[in-house]
Amino acid sequence: MAGKLFLCATPIGNLEDITFRVLRTLKEVDLIAAEDTRNSIKLLNHFEIKTPMTSYHEYNKIEKAYQLVAKLREGKNIALITDAGTPGISDPGEELVRICLEEGIEVTSLPGPAACITALTMSGQPTRRFAFEAFLPREKKERAAVLEELKNETRTIILYEAPHHLVKTLKELYEVLGNRKLTICKELTKRYENATVTTLEEVQNRYTDEEPRGEHVLVIAGKTREELQEEKQQAWNELTIEEHMAHYESQGIDRKEAMKLVAKDRGISKRDVYQELLK
């Protein structure tokens, strides 16, 4: 029988956050695939885990995945761990999971810490709906496209950012998203854990005298539907009634139906549209 891949969540700071199930699994599997073996050996040594390790990271994620699948086919059980948190979340582990499932290998996930969820729950921002973007792309064109997509996002937005890019990212977010409510979380689960509730406008002054340190999680309030509706209505109101009508009629919509749509867009009655057109 083929072995099984175990996705094992590891602490994001506080070592006490590891589960009994993860500890037992790490001791029982035949091999541990780790994002950075130099980092993970500290964790294994702390818990006196002697299981052999191999590296699995961004730069070998496809080739190494097939090597691991071959071992799984031989009946070996493998645990996948990342530097911190849950494998597969903003992590090359997603490729290993995909390939294993394509190859018919069983995969199971052992729940545990994830920085995005930890930050969200303590942020004070709405939690029912959220969009996790991890790190914004570094490539300029792709980054601009993602920011533009987030501009009208109504869900709470969660981003990761490194300290040396934080100030620039906060400035870009303010320029594109406007002044949103924001919670900045850092040092999660550690001694100096901190969550600061602020706004994208207020935070511009914070780092003039303070140098950012540590990984940050940004939890940003989404745009309300009321704000979206107001913006749409404002855009429509910048058109004349004739231009607004032409927008719909150019799509093959008949005049009567176009008048209904124009009235709805502008928050006025169909009669008002008719009167304007008569003028």
Query: Whole-model pTM?
Result: 0.82
Please report the pLDDT score of residue 133 as a whole number: 95
> Is residue 161 classed exposed, middle or buried when 0-12, 13-18 and 19+ CB atoms within 10 A define those classes?
buried
Please report the pLDDT score of residue 254 as a whole number: 84
Flag whether pLDDT at 124 surpasses 90: yes
Please report the pLDDT score of residue 23 as a whole number: 98
Q: In the structure, what pLDDT confidence band is assigned to residue 255 with cuts at 50, 70 and 90?
A: confident
Flag whether pLDDT at 250 surpasses 80: yes
Please report the pLDDT score of residue 229 as a whole number: 75
Select the more confidently predicted residue: 198 or 238.
198
Please report the pLDDT score of residue 261 as a whole number: 85
Which of 71, 96, 97, 93 is closest to 84 using CA atoms? 93
H or E stretch covering 67: helix 63-73
Q: In the structure, what pLDDT confidence band is assigned to residue 256 with cuts at 50, 70 and 90?
A: confident
Flag whether pLDDT at 177 surpasses 80: yes
End-to-end CA distance of the chain: 81
- Dihedrals phi, psi of 199, to nearest 5 degrees: -135, 165
Please report the pLDDT score of residue 237 as a whole number: 75
Find the mean pLDDT for residues 149-172.
94
Which of 118-122, 160-164, 207-211, 259-263 comes out lowest in average pLDDT? Answer: 207-211
Render pLDDT for 183-233 as a digit per residue (tens, 0 to 9): 999 999 999 999 999 999 999 888 877 888 888 999 999 998 888 777 777
Find the mean pLDDT for residues 10-39.
96
Alpha-carbon span 178 to 62, nearest angstrom: 39
Render pLDDT for 64-84 as a digit per residue (tens, 0 to 9): 999 999 999 999 999 999 999
Contact indicator for 166, 215 with CB cutoff of 8 Å = no
Name, in order, each residue with C-beta under 8 angstroms of 52's C-beta and a sequence gap of 6 or more.
30, 31, 32
